[in-house]
Amino acid sequence: MEINHISAGDPVAARLQEICTVFRIPGRLVEYEQITCGHINTTYKVVCESGQGDDKARIPYIAQRVNQYVFNEPVQMMRNIDLVTEHIMSKQPQSGREGRRYRLHYHHTAERRNYYVTPDNEFWRLTNYVDESVGFSATRNPKVLHMVGKAFGQFQAQLVDFDASQLVETIPNFHNTRKRLETLFAHVEEDPCGRCGEVAEEIEFLYVQRDRCSELSRSYELGLLPPRVTHNDTKANNVLLDKDTLEPLVVIDLDTVMPGLAAYDFGDAVRFAANNAAENEPDLSKVSLNLDLYRSFAEGYIQSTANFLTKEEMATMASGALTITVELASRFLDDYITGDRYFMIGYPTENKVRARSQIALAKDMIQKFEEMDRIVRETALKVRG
């Protein structure tokens, strides 16, 4: 990532300095770099320098501009995050500098708000940067997968007694796969950008999968599976691990913490981290589910959740993986055919490429489905003894 040293007349630097000042960060901005792994918000690591001589300190932070097209209730979202982080902290009190490694601390403005709206209506927030940490977008290291599973499992365990009715559903039906597919097919009828012809095969595949992949949403609506407080965006790079021991430090990106199904958190994590290729890999021959990595994740996750997840929930994990992969394919495809307004793209057809890549992964999961299910059941039996 390119590090920018501050120069006069750089509008990004001026905006970031304004953000640091409003959040009462001591010193002045000396450096920033954009972090580009998210598809929604715009994120920067900023470094501020304060003090003189031996007292001179350079402290990093994360500043983020929230995408208000996606999150149209950002104040409610910040309130959700506050409630969830407080609940987690009440279970693992840690103070001082060391404590900051284990939590996201949102800085406050003079008005005691954990967000700032600029005069031109941008929505910003600022947190500590977790030192000596590492996050993985791609890895074949089974230990990393195990630790990521452990982290997301612990996250759910910490929230098992959190009163979900306090949370506002900031994106209604976020993981309602049935509705996502219905929306896609409605847009296919309209074909607003004339792009559907290019993706006829993909639309057909998703159409064939619609019943199978609507089952979890239906069971949830009927109350057949328990609602949990879920993270809803369990990509491996949303966990920070200790850079030496690889033990989990903190789960980040709490924007979509809402009530949901455990199987979606499990499924989204393996969709991303146990894929032999990147989420947007154009060469489909490289895309497949790596069952060894899947097993490592499942072991870490189930060890932290076995004492509260029900047998019925365990039986839905493999289905969660296939369902969320089909769901994300439908979301990428929907964005492509409606003109790329939701996900940030690096080139014009990226959403189409992402959708195809996720469909290739879903096809491979269908082949490996029995094995995926068996691994979860066996691991649960082993852990429960």
Residues that bind Mg ion (CB under 5 A): 233, 253
Task: Name residue 236's amino acid.
Answer: A
Instruction: Identify the residue among 30, 40, 157, 383 touching ligand GN1 (CB under 6 A).
Output: 40
Site string for ligand GN1, 128-167 (x = CB under 6 A): ----------------------------------------
Long-range contacts of 114-119 (CB under 8 A, 24+ apart): 114/78, 114/81, 114/82, 115/66, 115/74, 115/75, 115/78, 116/19, 116/22, 116/23, 118/15, 118/18
Identify residues 292-331 at the interface with ligand GN1 (CB under 6 A). 328
Rounded Cα gap, residues 204 and 112, in angstroms: 51
CA distance 248 to 312: 27
User: Which of positions 341-360 make contact with ligand GN1 (CB under 6 A)?
Assistant: none
**Contact string (CB under 6 A) for ligand GN1, positions 243-282, x = contact:** ----------x-xx----------------------x---
Q: Which of 222, 384, 201, 379 is nearest to 297 (CA)?
A: 379
Beta carbon nearer to ligand GN1, 234 or 303: 234
Question: Contact at 8 Å (CB) between 300 and 153?
Answer: yes
Which option in ligand GN1, Mg ion, none does residue 340 bind, with CB closer than 5 to 8 A by kind?
none
Closest CB 355 distance from ligand GN1, rounded Å:
11
254/198 Cα distance (integer angstroms): 35
Q: Cβ(354)–Cβ(332) under 8 Å?
A: yes
Binding ligand GN1 (rule: CB under 6 A), the pick from 15, 29, 38, 229 is 38
Tokens representing 378 are 């066996």
Q: Which of residues 278-297 bind ligand GN1 (CB under 6 A)?
A: 279
Q: Among 33-41, 47-55, 116-124, 305-313, which window interacts with ligand GN1 (CB under 6 A)?
A: 33-41
Binding residues for ligand GN1 (CB under 6 A): 38-40, 70, 233, 235, 253, 255-256, 279, 328
